[in-house]
A = this chain, B = another copy of it.
Amino acid sequence: MTRVFNFSAGPAALPEPVLRQAALEMLDWHGAGCGVMEMSHRGKEFTAIIEQAESDFRELLAIPANYRVLFLQGGATQQFAQIPMNLLDGRAADYLVTGTWSKKAFKEAEHLAGGLGGRVRLAGSTEADGFTRLLRANELDLDPQAAYVHLCTNETIHGVELGEAAYLPATSAPLVADMSSHILSRPVDVSRYGLIYAGAQKNIGPSGLVIVIVRDDLIGRANAVTPSVMDYKVMAENGSMLNTPPTYGIYIAGLVFQWLKAQGGLAAIEACNIKKANLLYEFIDASDFYENRVERGSRSRMNIPFLLRDETLNDPFLAGAKAAGLTQLKGHKLVGGMRASIYNAMSLDGVRALVDYMRDFAARHG
């Protein structure tokens, strides 16, 4: 068995110790005589697993007590619908569009708003600039009465990230943030948000699990056409178990949280993520063979799109990378070129191997 360096944008590489433990426990979890996939979600074994997972997740992100953590299904895409169903409340909501994912969220809310008796507003967009930067404060058209302001804090496809140091929109409306592709990669001040959500398949675990962190006061406003499994209040009251939760995904997420704690938590993983991103960006910026077109203050540490200036070399670049054990580097079709997704589970060695390959490839073809 040879493990590659897997730069997939998601589902994405998981920490090898997590996978080893999962393989070891597949037929018998802690002497239970069965694996986690085979356990009743109401039994004491799985109850211990989900409680530990929530507790570790809360600890890692320092989530205040007035926020509920929900383990749900349907991914971020289902949240695009679930959020207006729960929060629109007959009012208007503001959407900031900084890439494909926030645009999808906006489109889905727009699709549903009429039927829900509310409205959505495009409060700012960088689409005219090709989604290569964050919005600036003076470009925002915010409604002070908005039910909420939606934003995506890391755009997986365009490689734009809102760091904590960057501005957050100045509004008294609750901020609702899609953090799918950078959650747990850095500390975040949860108290600045009303609701945070994240599909698991980047920094958390397998696809099929989405985690929602929601402030107590935003629970209980769901529209009448909201399915019970999509009502935050119902799910909060039932400990995410109105229905059978995605138990195996929650177990894997729990192992990832344990692994993160063993790495030293989010401050330590952030330091490592900064090193990895700097190594790759500095190499690209110093090169006249590769380029990244995202504005410096807006660049993602997790998803780094880059172009070969001679695009006829794209196929040989990818073929050579694969032969060198560097996979999933093809950029999203909307952007073209290449993309290296370097989530928590990607090691500094993996990024070094990529930079070495890129340098070598440029020398051979430059």
Which residues in A have some Cβ–Cβ distance to B below 8 Å? 1-4, 6, 8-14, 16, 19-20, 22-24, 26-28, 32-35, 37-41, 43, 73-78, 80-82, 85, 108, 111-112, 114-116, 199, 201, 205-209, 223-225, 227-230, 242-249, 252, 325, 327-328
Distance in angstroms between the alpha carbons of A12 and B43 in the assembled complex? 12
Main secondary structure of the interface of A (DSSP, over half): loop
A26-B23 contact given A35-B14, A208-B245, CB 8 Å threshold: yes
Number of identical protomers: 2
CB of A73 within 8 A of CB of B208, answer yes
The residue in A16, A43, A74, A328 that gathers the most chain B C-beta atoms within 10 A of its C-beta is A74
Q: Tell which of B12, B224, B249 touches A114, judged by Cβ atoms closer than 8 Å.
A: B224
Q: Tell which of B39, B209, B223 touches A8, judged by Cβ atoms closer than 8 Å.
A: B39
Q: Which residues from B are CB-within-8-Å of A328?
A: 40, 43
Q: Tell which of B33, B74, B228 touches A2, judged by Cβ atoms closer than 8 Å.
A: B33
Distance in angstroms between the alpha carbons of A4 and B35 in the assembled complex? 10
A199-B27 contact given A13-B38, A208-B209, A227-B82, CB 8 Å threshold: no
**In this complex, what residue of B is CB-closest to A23?**
B26
Distance in angstroms between the alpha carbons of A8 and B33 in the assembled complex? 12
Q: Which residues from B are CB-within-8-Å of A112?
A: 224-225, 227
